[in-house]
Amino acid sequence: MHTIMQRSLQSHLEGIEGVLLRDEPMNRHTSWRVGGKAEMFYVPTDKASLVQLMCQLPGNVPVFWFGLGSNLLVRDAGIPGMVVCTFKGMDEIERVDTESIYAQAGVASAKLAKYCARHGLEGAEFLAGIPGSFGGAVAMNAGAFGGDTWSMIERIECLDRDGNINWFDKSEISYQYRHVDLPENNWIVGAQIKLKAIKGLDLGRRIRELLKTRGHSQPVQSANAGSVFKNPENDFAARLLEEVGMKGVSTGGAEYSGKHANFIINKGSATADDIESLIKLGQKSVEQRFGIRLEPEVRIVGRSKPFETGEGSDPGND
């Protein structure tokens, strides 16, 4: 998809509420502060405008769902097709009953944690340590401080390619550690969680303590995307990376944090290629030493090479 096709698509989508941008630099939206351009970048005003987009979007245009841009590496040549950003436009939180909360995908995980704490609902405090959106946490079963997202889920709300809203109970979805199998061509727009109503416990204080712990052990002041690798069974990725000497190792403007070996930081001039090279180096080093193949927790999307005339618009996520 190139400029003429972009203009055609933008014309096709006229009348849809929200913000629709062409060639939007993704380094403005990712926590690593790297990434090429999105051919089209859409921020809905609400769920209704998002439904309208999906109803009018041509079926041959690839769609990439996007929240706060954490836990994500966008390659330097960017993302073909349509990037849908749920942050800001999809940020409603609603009390369903005494123990259940509905939150839309664009709500910041930390905001949801604080909302639940204020309402005396225990069990979501760990979300304060997840720097992404709630939708992203649901999509990957994000976790921190011993908690994980799908332990709270009752049901999820999805939008399919034809613009239909579909609800799925927890029992209908297969999930595991840092992985969720969502129904094909369905994207998360919200979810309902069930917590424990509790009195007399300062949940806000618990959140502050968790964040203090996080600040001591993780490079929160540097541009990063959270934990780079999933923990292998009965071990920790950070321990393995430290054992093979990854702390402080750098490529270009990217570096394995000296504070936490499972974090790669952007020192200010990193490219996505620098970061991806370090990811591969960490994998290779650990596998050679321990025979363990670390699996990335961060999602790597987009293309590393510029688009060519006549080329299709497959995102090429491999």
- Is 297 among the residues known to form the active site? yes
Q: Is 67 inside a domain boundary?
A: yes
Question: What is the pLDDT at residue 184?
Answer: 92
Last residue of a domain, one of 29, 50, 85: 85
**pLDDT, tens digit (0-9, with 9 covering 90-100), for 135-156:** 999 999 999 998 999 999 999 9
Q: Is 311 inside a domain boundary?
A: no
- Tell me the angle at which helices 203-217 and 109-118 cross, rounded to the nearest 10 degrees: 150
Q: Judge if 98 and 76 occupy the same domain.
A: no
Q: Judge if 195 and 179 occupy the same domain.
A: yes
State both tokens at 73: 């590496």
**pLDDT, tens digit (0-9, with 9 covering 90-100), for 72-81:** 999 999 999 9
**pLDDT, tens digit (0-9, with 9 covering 90-100), for 82-94:** 999 999 899 999 9
Which structural domain range is residue 290 located in?
227-297
Q: Judge if 185 and 97 occupy the same domain.
A: yes
Percent of the chain with pLDDT over 70: 92
What is the spatial distance between Cα 30 and Cα 35, in angstroms, rounded to a whole number? 8
Q: Does residue 305 surpass a pLDDT of 80?
A: no
Q: Does residue 2 surpass a pLDDT of 60?
A: no
Q: Does residue 18 surpass a pLDDT of 80?
A: yes
Q: Judge if 70 and 158 occupy the same domain.
A: no
List 227, 276, 285, 303, catalytic entry: 227
State both tokens at 145: 């401080």
Spatial contact of 175 and 191, defined as CB atoms under 8 Å apart = no
CATH, residue 174: 3.30.465.10
The secondary structure element, H or E, covering residue 31 is: none
Q: Is 222 inside a domain boundary?
A: no
Q: Mean pLDDT across the stretch 202-231?
A: 94
Q: Which of the pair, 201 or 292, is modelled with greater confidence?
A: 292
DSSP state of 107: S
Q: Is 44 inside a domain boundary?
A: yes
Across 33-37, 100-104, 306-310, least confident range: 306-310
List 109, 178, 255, 285, catalytic entry: 178
Q: Does residue 4 surpass a pLDDT of 80?
A: no
Which residues lie across from 153 on neighbouring strands?
193
Q: Give the torsion sign (CA, 34, 40, 44, 50).
A: negative
CATH, residue 255: 3.90.78.10
CATH, residue 46: 3.30.43.10
Where do we find the tokens 């996520």? 317
pTM reported for the whole predicted model: 0.90
Strand order in the sheet with 100-104: 93-95, 100-104, 186-194, 153-160, 165-169
Query: If pLDDT is split at 50, 70 and 90, which confidence band does 7 have?
Result: low
State both tokens at 152: 């709270």
CB atoms within 10 A of CB 275: 29
Q: Judge if 266 and 180 occupy the same domain.
A: no
Question: What is the pLDDT at residue 308?
Answer: 45
State both tokens at 8: 């055609």
Question: What is the pLDDT at residue 201?
Answer: 85
Q: Is 317 inside a domain boundary?
A: no
Q: Mean pLDDT across the stretch 40-49?
A: 96
Total number of domains in the chain: 3
**pLDDT, tens digit (0-9, with 9 covering 90-100), for 233-269:** 999 999 999 999 999 999 999 999 999 999 999 999 9
DSSP state of 298: S
Helix (H, G, I), strand (E, B) or coil at 258: coil
